[in-house]
Chains A and B, each alone.
Chain A
Amino acid sequence: EADIYQTPRYLVIGTGKKITLECSQTMGHDKMYWYQQDPGMELHLIHYSYGVNSTEKGDLSSESTVSRIRTEHFPLTLESARPSHTSQYLCASSELGTGGYTEAFFGQGTRLTVV
């Protein structure tokens, strides 16, 4: 099992609230990612990081922000939650394996519902 953890697993919150989704990995991976996925739909990359103090927007525009102050920690923050933010958020980290490939490990996800 991969050592990457997300909390909380489920969150129901009211509109306008500020929330932070936590993601931590103990594998020492430099690269980390946040994806957004609606039920039955594809994963959309919303943020990624090459390492400490390095963050970039993904292919899907998102109102969330991220920070990478420590290698193992990559939290995602929504300053003011809206019903349109209701979705599943998946965190991942990756390593460069032998032979030059990249293997990503995913957390269990946070299912966010904004009411």
Chain B
Amino acid sequence: QQQVKQSPQSLIVQKGGISIINCAYENTAFDYFPWYQQFPGKGPALLIAIRPDVSEKKEGRFTISFNKSAKQFSLHIMDSQPGDSATYFCAAGDNFNKFYFGSGTKLNVKP
């Protein structure tokens, strides 16, 4: 059973548009929710992260929205750029930093 469900699988956005990726989890023991960005042939790199006591976190063009009661969280990329084209993974972690990852979203930002 997949612990973290992520959608959509792929996303095409025009330059300057908003990219939105959604994730849902079941285990209420999770207490840390990072998003990772991965380029082909590279390891995942931390983009932004949030804890469940916060409903929103913004860093530059990237925003996480967190709904604890619904057990859902999402990544919004404002003013999407071609350089943002990559695969994005949401994850949920416990207090041992064991992370459970979503299946990934391949984002393509068209110029």
Indicate, yes or no, whether A interacts with B.
no
Which residues of A does B touch, CB under 8 Å?
Answer: none
